[in-house]
Structure 1
Amino acid sequence: MRVCIIGLGRMGRGMAVNLVNKGHVVYGYDVNKSIYAALNNVGVKTVDSVRQCGDTDYVVLALPTGRESAQVLSELSTNAVVIDTTTMSITELTQVLSIVRNKGFKYVTARLEGGPKQAESGSLVLFVGGDEQLYSNPRNSCAS
């Protein structure tokens, strides 16, 4: 599985490390490039732009707010399943969902229960919302 994690802060970094440890190919992007060296040392392949995340199976957004999520989705071009773990307001969610519909993304939300330690150990609890068909069979579904 090929995954790109956009937002390599405390949660995104932990998810990236966990996925690498499980043998997946993980790409990562963050505006703070100073964290790249440490992530490259553990096997995360860092990229210079969110546009380089398009050719993966999954794109995980682990961003501070819905504002950043909307900005990234506006720049992103992908056929991957987008899993958005970003906490956002109703106003931000409305904007994000508008972009998702306009671009035809395969999109689900995943609210996280746990912290960075659970992200890295793989013991986060995810509350997933979105198209049931996409959740059940992500490779054969299309955005609704």
Structure 2
Amino acid sequence: MTEASTMRIAFLGLGHMGLPMAQNLVAAGHEVHGFDLMPAAIEAAQAAGIPVAASGADAVADADVVITMFPAGRHVIDAYRTELLAAARPGTLFIESSTIAVDEARAAHALALAAGHRNIDAPVSGGVVGAENGTLAFMVGGSDEDFAAALPVLEVMGKRIVHCGGPGLGQAAKVCNNMVLAVSQIAVAEAFVLGERLGLEHQALFDVVSQASGQCWSITTNCPVPGPVPTSPANRDYQPGFAGSLMAKDLGLALQAIEQTSTDARMGRLAQQLYAAYADGEGATRDFSGIITDIRDGRV
């Protein structure tokens, strides 16, 4: 592999998260070649100065590192099988940063190894703001050697990179983290609705909880009511951020893992049900913290 400052990186999936991640790689001096199936994403990438290849196969040819950021596991497996692995040079490092099921991550890992490549799963947390600022958290599954090889690239895009263990365990950490996040966001939303009905001002409740034992990211960063946290989605009409449809998808993966492991996770199951209902309505395109409006109005 070439030196970290001159890596050739293929970045596939240039959506709301992928594009700013790719831009940070360019800003760090890497040669980035992108690809996306969506015309709007291609146009945005070209406007940002990122060369876009004619196909995924063209993007990965001669790449040192291939980063994928796709909507679902089936897209990852299909892309690996149909073009990416065959088009890449032997020994290419594949960094799979989509949020997919643990067994899908392990299947992708096995496909990459069988084709003579290296692979880690490295899902992210931190949303669009984290992607733009290069402060994402990466949860990584893979060998020690492949983690070490990927670290210089991940450090450009993220502030905290944790090696969680072998293949698939980055996705395991991600699904557990997002289950906690969903449960806490619902709890914070319910607390603000209860506070409203008891006559508490939003700022007063925030001032207490944000400095007390109820303190969590869902209130200090993603506060679901306008005012207390000026940068929260609540102050921009719940524009995501992290859309409710994506949280519903991630909780579907959590539910799958809960059932596969026979885990008694009643709060996780309930969170999945609430976010599935939220995503069926306006929540499909609103930030996941906007579930407070459905809780307030009794729609979930």
Scaled by the length of structure 1, the TM-score of the pair is 0.86
List alignment gaps of at least 5 residues for structure 1: 139-144
CA distance in 2, matches of 1:5, 1:103: 19
Equivalent residue in structure 1 for 2:95, among 83, 86, 91: 83
- Please tell me whether residue 20 in structure 1 is matched to residue 26 in structure 2: yes
Shift of 1:35: 2.4
- Write the deviation string for residues 49-84 of structure 1: whole angstroms up to 9, x where unpaired: 111122111110100111000111111122321100
Normalized per residue, the structure richer in helix is: 2
Give the alignment of 1:102-117 within 5 angstroms.
Answer: 102-117=114-129
Task: State how many pairs are aligned.
Answer: 138
Partners of 2:10 and 2:63 within 8 A in 1: yes
- Please tell me whether residue 50 in structure 1 is matched to residue 60 in structure 2: no
Give the alignment of 1:84-103 within 5 angstroms.
Answer: 84-103=96-115
Percent sequence identity over aligned pairs:
30
Between structure 1 and structure 2, the one with the greater Rg is 2
Partners of 1:11 and 1:116 within 8 A in 2: yes
Partners of 2:34 and 2:50 within 8 A in 1: yes
Scaled by the length of structure 2, the TM-score of the pair is 0.43
Q: Which amino acid aligns with 1:73?
A: Y
CA distance in 1, matches of 2:139, 2:106: 19
- Please tell me whether residue 67 in structure 1 is matched to residue 57 in structure 2: no
RMSD: 1.7
Partners of 1:60 and 1:83 within 8 A in 2: yes
- Please tell me whether residue 124 in structure 1 is matched to residue 136 in structure 2: yes
Normalized per residue, the structure richer in strand is: 1
Structure 2 match to 1:38:
44
List alignment gaps of at least 5 residues for structure 2: 1-6, 151-300
CA distance in 2, matches of 1:93, 1:134: 15
